[in-house]
Chains A and B, each alone.
Chain A
């Protein structure tokens, strides 16, 4: 089994989906000849032709709107937005059309589209290239929001997203695009959506994260284990709809929860999870739920971005504090 980077596994899943289903169309800026700005679509146009791998004009709203039209006709479009900061023109299409086409036609039409975009900071990119605004998307009824954190899950979840009969926004963790490596077998097997992955079993504290922060969260878990603690690590993976049961089951076991995300704190998805635990897991808590997040400021330019994002150190501090609470 070859060892692949996360972005290579995205490419592998796209190729697999296109090979298995002639209705799968890839479209976006620079996705064809150039193979995508992160090379996620490299080789696809050569293999599947310019009509299935479309170099679109430079117009993000168009990309998402074309996806809606194609999907309503039964194609399975996979649009690429180059960076999350350029996704915002698509919000109208996602909120007003993609997410509600099935509902507003009572099932007469549907919208099996995927919109992929890199997510997050940490690659010393220019302004607008480091956004982590997944909570905004996770607030939209009718949509799915999925974020892998490893090559294996990138492959399996992207296949699932493409095969899903409803619209999915697929957020790819830019910071670990090339640093995350794993054994990925091109077996065409999807991983389940709407399901969280328990990456490490433990009894003392639950660490919940998604995307690139999963790597730091796992590193923090290793350090906690070295200190004699027994942390559990959950990769949420699907943020909308998310796996409440796995979160609650874990917290009922550990009684302690740290939520880690690089998005700004206020109104971030961590707040949703904390509210869930407050509503349905309060009696099992041994300590307050803590969020370790980006700060409530604009993502700084590269000189300061490392100070913005949660670090292993900040996760450790929070987890230790919880374990010493009371």
Chain B
């Protein structure tokens, strides 16, 4: 453990903290401790598995659309599917998700359609209309700045005595920002029903975790705020951590930070080339821990998944993704004057001339 005491002499200890890691299965499938009860529900696990596979198929298709000039810059979540599906599947529809730009798998689970995701990353605000829950937040693009929103949403839940939970998805880089600290600090003071899930994928574009923080864990960043924090094997134990945290939050036991250990197997976005800063051996080693193969192997080991299931699922995913792509590509751009739509509840009269100018009907 790092030496953080400055005492030159034996002074009394006035506080102690521990950080726990939740892990059930080693990457090779070895059981590490007693599994959560839902682990025997292979039906549920197969549903989660399907969602992860679909998200990956969608991601890979999005990259190919970008590479062929049919989509804008896109943030791939290759290898992080279990974190997103684990937390989203533990939420209720009336809860509110505050996602970052890499959380497509969670948004899909919550009901956002693939064509809507493509529409947003293809450069059309209508994507954020989203078929997901109406009160869901859109992608947060500036890193971590939705964390205070999550605290505000959770405050509203508590104020109105609604048994709802806000879930904020951020990355390891976001934990370096004051926004996240300020939000956790406030959430802990008011015991708000909010979960901060840190996708610790080890890299913030090209900056590795060791240059992001000197903390041994990101979970411990919560502890200074008086907020519960735990570290989780995000690639296989996320759902259990999510169930626990959400139940506690809904029950009035306050906020929690979940540091989900995972790995970004892809580039940061389609505009990035990770080979510039990341050794291939590191990535190759991490492929052995990726979540989809691990869950498949778990299910197969219990006779709940076979080759035929896999082939059928792959075909299904391809069909669904292709249908979404076709829908997206067939969506016509809106007329240019719609850039003034929803700027305010009602467009101030003073801007009508500009809207008319865009529309081409200006007589100025």
A69 to chain B, nearest CB (A): 2
Q: Does B58 contact A (CB under 8 A)?
A: no
> Which of B138, B178, B186 interacts with A66 by CB under 8 Å?
B186
Q: Are A106 and B183 in contact (CB under 8 A)?
A: no
Residues from chain B with Cβ under 8 Å of A109 in the complex: 135, 137-138
Interface string of B127-155 (1 = CB under 8 A from A): 01110001101100110011111111111
Most chain B beta-carbon neighbours within 10 Å: one of A65, A71, A102, A110: A65
Q: Does B307 contact A (CB under 8 A)?
A: no
A170 to chain B, nearest CB (A): 16
Given A73-B156, A92-B145, A62 and B129 contact (CB-CB distance below 8 Å): no
Bound complex: CA of A59 vs CA of B155, how far in Å? Answer: 16
Q: Are A69 and B342 in contact (CB under 8 A)?
A: no
How many A-B pairs have beta carbons closer than 8 Å: the answer is: 132
Q: Are A66 and B152 in contact (CB under 8 A)?
A: yes
Q: Does B126 contact A (CB under 8 A)?
A: yes
Residues from chain B with Cβ under 8 Å of A103 in the complex: 125, 341-343
Q: Are A65 and B183 in contact (CB under 8 A)?
A: yes
Q: Does A68 contact B (CB under 8 A)?
A: yes
Q: Are B159 and A241 in contact (CB under 8 A)?
A: no
Q: Say which one of B23-31, B77-85, B202-210, B344-352 lies at the interface with A.
A: B344-352
Residues from chain A with Cβ under 8 Å of B220 in the complex: none
Given A62-B186, A194-B348, A72 and B149 contact (CB-CB distance below 8 Å): yes
Q: Are A108 and B130 in contact (CB under 8 A)?
A: yes
**How many residues of A are counted as interface, with CB atoms below 8 angstroms from the partner's CB atoms?**
43
Q: Are B344 and A142 in contact (CB under 8 A)?
A: yes
Q: Are B135 and A72 in contact (CB under 8 A)?
A: yes
Q: Are A93 and B148 in contact (CB under 8 A)?
A: yes
Residues of chain B in range 271-325 having any CB-CB distance to chain A below 8 Å? none
Bound complex: CA of A56 vs CA of B151, how far in Å? Answer: 12
Residues of chain B in range 81-131 having any CB-CB distance to chain A below 8 Å? 96, 125-126, 128-130
Bound complex: CA of A105 vs CA of B345, how far in Å? Answer: 12
Most chain B beta-carbon neighbours within 10 Å: one of A64, A66, A67, A75: A66
A99 to chain B, nearest CB (A): 9
Q: Are A65 and B151 in contact (CB under 8 A)?
A: yes
Q: Are B341 and A106 in contact (CB under 8 A)?
A: yes
Q: Are B156 and A56 in contact (CB under 8 A)?
A: no
Q: Are A65 and B179 in contact (CB under 8 A)?
A: yes
Q: Are B153 and A65 in contact (CB under 8 A)?
A: no
Residues from chain B with Cβ under 8 Å of A242 in the complex: 350
Q: Does B182 contact A (CB under 8 A)?
A: yes
Residues of chain B in range 338-363 having any CB-CB distance to chain A below 8 Å? 341-345, 348-351
**How many residues of B are counted as interface, with CB atoms below 8 angstroms from the partner's CB atoms?**
43
Residues of chain A in range 102-118 having any CB-CB distance to chain B below 8 Å? 102-110
B155 to chain A, nearest CB (A): 6
Q: Does A96 contact B (CB under 8 A)?
A: yes
Q: Are A72 and B342 in contact (CB under 8 A)?
A: no
Q: Does A57 contact B (CB under 8 A)?
A: yes
Q: Does A234 contact B (CB under 8 A)?
A: no
* Chain A residue with the shortest CB-CB distance to B181: A59
Q: Are A67 and B152 in contact (CB under 8 A)?
A: yes
Residues from chain A with Cβ under 8 Å of B126 in the complex: 106
Q: Does B326 contact A (CB under 8 A)?
A: no
Q: Does B185 contact A (CB under 8 A)?
A: yes
Q: Does A186 contact B (CB under 8 A)?
A: no
Residues from chain B with Cβ under 8 Å of A108 in the complex: 128-130, 134
Interface string of A55-86 (1 = CB under 8 A from B): 01101011011111111111101000000000
Q: Does A97 contact B (CB under 8 A)?
A: yes
Besides A69-B155, A106-B128, 11 new A-B residue pairs in contact (Cβ under 8 A), listed by A number: A59-B185, A62-B148, A62-B185, A66-B186, A73-B135, A104-B128, A104-B138, A105-B125, A105-B130, A108-B129, A194-B348
Q: List 28 A-B contacts (CB under 8 A).
A: A25-B159, A61-B179, A62-B151, A65-B183, A66-B151, A66-B152, A67-B152, A69-B149, A71-B152, A72-B149, A72-B152, A73-B153, A77-B152, A97-B145, A104-B128, A105-B129, A105-B138, A107-B341, A108-B128, A108-B130, A108-B134, A109-B135, A109-B137, A109-B138, A194-B348, A194-B350, A241-B350, A245-B350
